[in-house]
Amino acid sequence: MPTPLFKPGHSGNPGGRPKLDPETRKLIQSNGELAVKRMNDLLSMDELFNRIDGNGEFVSGKLSGKEQIALLALAQDRAFGRADGVSITHTHSGTVGMSVNPTQRLKDISDRLPERLAQQKVIEAKLDDDE
């Protein structure tokens, strides 16, 4: 059995995160407002995201599905803190599931994902066939 690097109860980083030099910290802080504005601009650009147009047709966004989720998750985390209990599952049968505990907004976003939209169309088609 290998010897542990640190004794129990002792930190591997006792000094914590290294301090930023004042000039770097000032640059980061001065660009924080610009970063928030740019993220808001991106989130406002419908053409970046998958969506249903006015005719009820699916329109693919310019960002990949992973990029869309990453941007939305980052914005969500910054606005409300990291969400508890978000779970996305995918089975080989093509079923996509998502459960969200704290926010309805994330669920609303997840319902617009291409996989969920395609899954919903299949469900609706099966319902129509059953009638």
**Successive 10-residue mean pLDDT values, the chain, 131 residues:** 67 77 86 86 91 91 88 82 61 60 62 70 74 66
- pLDDT value of residue 59: 92
Query: Which has the closest alpha carbon to 114: 102, 122, 126?
Result: 122
Which pLDDT value is given to residue 94?
61
Euclidean distance between CA atoms 26 and 40, whole angstroms: 22
- Report pTM: 0.43
Domain limits of the chain?
24-130
Q: How far apart are CA 29 and CA 48, in angstroms?
A: 28
The whole-number pLDDT of residue 55 equals 93
Alpha-carbon gap, residue 19 to 102, rounded angstroms: 34
The pLDDT, as a whole number, for residue 6 is: 67
Q: Which structure tokens are listed for 95?
A: 């079923």
Q: What is the pLDDT of residue 47?
A: 92
Which pLDDT does position 120 carry in this prediction? 73
pLDDT reported for residue 75: 84
**Per-residue model confidence (pLDDT) at position 105:** 63
State residue 104's pLDDT score.
64
The pLDDT of residue 89 is: 62
